[in-house]
């Protein structure tokens, strides 16, 4: 593990490319990976014309919000990658906490990695991974944070940093994300520190113990959110069975 100078995820181990308009910062990172980029590269953009969200949704990307992607190459063996989305949400959680005023509503994480302010979605995280032709694996961590804009057609509550009394520009916000991500990746220790990451995640999470609905691609299931296992799977107690869920949209009931 190393946040110290010279470590794999020390502060000086990352490069940053700041772009104007792109289709998607995730696409930019994947393109660089295919061309042989060694990784630890941040790409930010002022605006995205084809921002991607989870499950094939689009991510509205007007200028004024933060659009950032981090390219990692072979960050951990595949069997240890399961906790990376949880670690990433901790970095975004810490970023928001470091800039929001004391009076802002609570910052919490909704499984798996939505960071909420006052139970409203304030950002989106999209991890994408690709096996490269030279045998390496590219993992791209894409993060969008609502600063001045938020969608008004979302089927859930949404908010922005400005609404929470935080007036910051994307360029001022990015160094906080850069620092918190380096710190969390060092603590994640290439997936070896899964238990400390899941423990920190549980402390920052909302809704554990409460009734939730999980929307899967083909059905919805209601039950009690019993917590997460060490792979980051959501444990849902339906009253009849305990189910481990790998992907789905959670709604608090």
> Would you tell me which residues interact with ligand BTN (CB under 6 A)?
24-26, 48, 51-54, 57, 59, 67, 69, 124-126, 142-144
Question: Which CB sits closer to ligand BTN, 72 or 126?
Answer: 126
Q: What SS3 class is residue 84?
A: helix
CB of 44 to ligand BTN, least distance (A): 9
Report, in Å, the least distance between residue 123 CB and ligand BTN: 8
Q: Give the shortest CB-33-to-ligand BTN separation in angstroms.
A: 14
The SS3 assignment for 118 reads coil
Q: Phi and psi dihedrals of 222, rounded to 5?
A: -100, 150
Q: Closest separation between CB of residue 211 and ligand BTN, Å?
A: 23
Q: Which is nearer to ligand BTN, 74 or 249 (CB)?
A: 249
User: Based on CB atoms, which residue is closest to ligand BTN, 3 or 156?
Assistant: 156
Cα separation, 174 vs 163, in Å, equals 19
Query: Which tokens go with 37?
Result: 């980029």
Pick 126 or 184: Cβ nearer ligand BTN: 126
CB nearer ligand BTN, residue 154 or residue 238: 154
DSSP H/E element including 30 = helix 25-34
Task: Give the residue closest to ligand BTN by C-beta.
Answer: 124
- Residue 10 beta carbon to ligand BTN: minimum distance, rounded to whole angstroms: 24
Whether 146 and 122 have beta carbons less than 8 Å apart is answered as: yes
Q: Can you list the alpha helix ranges (DSSP code H) found in 100-235?
A: 170-188, 194-204
Alpha-carbon Rg for the chain in angstroms: 18
Give the SS3 label for residue 161: coil
Angle at which helices 194-204 and 170-188 cross, to 10°: 130
Least distance to ligand BTN, CB of residue 178, Å: 14
Q: Which of 42, 59 has the CB closer to ligand BTN? A: 59
Residue 215, phi then psi, degrees to nearest 5: -90, 115
């Amino acid at each position: 593990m190393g946040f110290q100078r010279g470590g794999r995820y020390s502060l000086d181990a990352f490069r940053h490319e700041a772009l104007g308009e792109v289709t998607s910062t995730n696409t930019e990172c994947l393109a660089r990976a295919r061309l042989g980029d060694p990784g630890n590269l941040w790409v930010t953009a002022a605006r995205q014309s084809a921002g991607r969200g989870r499950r094939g949704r689009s991510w509205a990307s007007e200028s004024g919000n933060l659009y950032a992607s981090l390219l990692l190459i072979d960050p951990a063996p595949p069997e240890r990658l399961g906790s990376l989305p949880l670690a990433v949400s901790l970095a975004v959680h810490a970023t928001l906490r470091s800039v929001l005023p004391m009076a802002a509503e609570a910052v919490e994480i909704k499984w798996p990695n939505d960071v909420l302010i006052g139970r409203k979605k304030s950002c989106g995280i999209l991890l994408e991974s690709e096996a490269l032709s030279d045998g390496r694996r590219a993992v791209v961590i894409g993060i969008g944070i609502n600063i001045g804009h938020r969608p008004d057609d979302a089927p859930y509550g949404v908010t922005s940093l400005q609404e929470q009394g935080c007036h910051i520009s994307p360029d001022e916000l990015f160094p906080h994300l850069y620092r918190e991500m380096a710190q969390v990746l060092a603590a994640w220790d290439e997936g070896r520190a899964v238990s400390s990451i899941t423990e920190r995640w549980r402390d920052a999470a909302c809704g554990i113990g409460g009734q939730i609905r999980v929307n899967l691609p083909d059905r919805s299931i209601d039950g009690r959110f019993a917590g997460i296992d060490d792979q980051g799977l959501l444990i849902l107690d339906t009253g009849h069975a305990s189910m481990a869920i790998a992907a789905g949209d959670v709604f608090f009931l």
